[in-house]
Structure 1
Amino acid sequence: MKTPGPIFVTELFPKLNAELQELLCSLEDEDWKRPATGVWSVKDVVAHLLDTTLRRLAVDRDQYVSLDTPKLQTDRDPTNYINQTNAEWVKAARRLSPRLLIELLEKVGQEMYEFFKTLDPYKTAIFPVSWAGEQVSPNWFDIAREYTEKWHHQEQIREAVHRLGLTSREYLFPVLDTFMRALPHVYRNVRAVEETLIKTEITGPAGGDWFLIRKQDRWELWLGVEEKPKATVRMPQDVAWKLFTKGLEKSSAERRMSFKGTKELGRQILDMICIIG
């Protein structure tokens, strides 16, 4: 029985970027127009990947604050601002050719990797991982969050153009492990007696087991717990990442999940969202 440790994914970025480059260079003209997620096409998602990489470099590496950045005063303001900024960029980027998007992504993807290598993983990140309920996060967690963004958007593209996904343990387990750090936050308002144990089991080559334990009026995340849980949730790895990134409706996800013990305790995980927007 142990608490989860840091997730170090910086060295996965070059591999993930290379996989993306190979994928994008293989696409036909019609592939770029295919619907990928929501109202976005494959080309729109590629443009979004470029946008988020550029913004990361501008704000974090270059310490640049845009003059049009608004003051965020309510809990919904950050989400609304991000959604607006995302939409503005995607609309403007429709003027860019696929070739330009590919070339720019290759360049700035490498620059972001080089920047991440300079960061002390334990120092405070410029961005907290808000979907995990954190006001302050270490760099390793923020970088892991960035990795989940890059991975799941590439996976959306792969599914849209009917290509094999990057779902081996090397690529997907760090995504799921990062997402699981949100469990205590999503259960924060769930009342239970001391030492109540909830097990989340994700099946598949990239899966694993994570445990929530109620201690001193809060939930803690643990690994390797041998005691019998009060509730167990079981789901395939593809259901997990899609549910947590709003790529699968709760009702559809629940039909592919199984529950043991107190079902209502387990069902709380259906509310877990590990993206902003």
Structure 2
Amino acid sequence: MNSPEKIDVIASMPELDKMLFKLLEGLSAEDWERQTIAPKWKVKDIAVHLLDGNLRTLSMLRDNYYGEKASTINSYQDLIDFLNQLNADWVTAAKRLSPKVIIDLLKLSGKEYCDFLATLNPDDKADFSVAWAGENESKNWFHIAREYTEKWHHQQQIRLALGEEKVLLKEKWYLPYLDTSVRALPHHYRNVEGTAKDLVKFTFFAATEKSWFLRYDNGWELFTSVNEIPTSEVKIRNEDAWKIFTKGMTREEAIASSEIIGNKRLGEKIFDMIAVMA
């Protein structure tokens, strides 16, 4: 059996940004107002949300300036509510920005953002844990990988609205997204009853397939390969997986478009997993 390894996406972050800049520079005025899969956000709203991510990271983690702080955070939901309000406030204020200003600011802040992440020691403790994976403390490499998933899935939301989503489903870009997101599986399955050596295989497929495994032994543990027959296998299309993990499709839609072989109770749990702060 092999366990998941550290994820290194530092070199990919600037490239992913450049793809976004090129995409945005080719948009018409109507394109900027297209509705995205995120119910409350159009293309422009997601672009300014990405800008906010750059600026907040630089302000908090590089400059140690936290600005607005929550008055009380007593639960995970309190944190989600606080972040949602921050996001909504920013998107509302940014409606006065032109597309050109947004692109220019994304380019400027994006370089500084990527340069800053490259200075972090991957094995040092991150300032923020990856809460959706159940971690109270995370290493920088996982924090950076989480940042990659944020940039990946928000750019994909824009691309989906424009009919340009296939490029980010190429393995070079999609595999790091999946590899990071599935790290939430053990935490997500923590309350699912299992028996010794129960094994759930998750296969994501398009032109090629990639699989991860959850094995039960007094708790669920994630592996990249095992030499055992799975109790349950879940087959999910690549074009659906990211939507499942970001609340982009309903549980019922996800189950209908996927396949479960074997134990359905164990397999179906993945369809309400979320790998974002939402």
Question: TM-score, structure 2 length as denominator?
Answer: 0.97
| Paired residues of 1:42 and 1:160 also in contact (CA < 8 A) | yes
Post-superposition offset of 1:181 = 0.4
Asked if 1:187 corresponds to 2:189, the answer is yes
1:191-235, Cα deviation, whole Å (9 max, x unpaired): 1111111111111246411001112x2110011112101111111
Find the counterpart in structure 2 of residue 19 from structure 1: 19
Runs of at least 5 residues in structure 2 that lack an aligned partner in the other structure: none
Matches within 5 A, 1:173-212: 173-205=175-207, 207-212=209-214
Q: 65-74 vs 107-116, which deviates more?
A: 65-74
1-side partners of 2:25 and 2:275: how far apart? 29
Letter in 2 for 1:188: R
- Cross-structure match for 2:173: 171
Deviations 1:111-145 (A, max 9, x none): 11100110000111111111100000100101001
The amino acid of 1:40's aligned partner reads W
Question: What is the aligned partner in structure 1 of residue 248 from structure 2?
Answer: 247
Question: What is the letter of the counterpart of residue 192 of structure 2?
Answer: V
**Distance in 1 between residues matched to 2:209 and 2:261, nearest whole Å:** 18
- CA–CA distance in structure 2, aligned partners of residues 144 and 81 of structure 1: 23
Alignment partner, residue 52 of structure 1: 53
Structure 1: distance between partners of 2:12 and 2:204: 22
| Structure 1 residue 274, shift from structure 2 partner | 0.5
- CA distance in structure 1 between the aligned counterparts of 2:272 and 2:174, rounded to whole angstroms: 21
Q: What's the CA shift for 1:109?
A: 0.7
Identity %: 43
Q: Which runs of 5+ in 1 are unaligned?
A: none
Is residue 173–residue 206 contact of structure 1 (8 Å, CA) maintained in 2?
A: no
Counterpart of 2:143 in 1: which secondary structure? Answer: helix
| Deviation readout 1:123-173 (Å, 9 max, x if unpaired) | 111111111000001001010011001011101111112224311100000
Report SS of the residue matched to 1:10: coil
Equivalence for 1:10: 10
Which runs of at least 4 in structure 1 moved beyond 4 Å after TM superposition? none
Question: What pairs with 1:214-233 in structure 2 (closer than 5 Å)?
Answer: 214-215=216-217, 217-233=218-234
Counterparts of 1:32-111 in structure 2, within 5 Å, are: 32-36=32-36, 37-111=38-112
Counterpart in 2 of 1:29? Answer: 29
Aligned Cα RMSD in Å? 1.1
Please say which of residues 76-85 and 196-205 is displaced more in the overlay: 196-205
| 1:70 to partner: Cα distance | 2.5
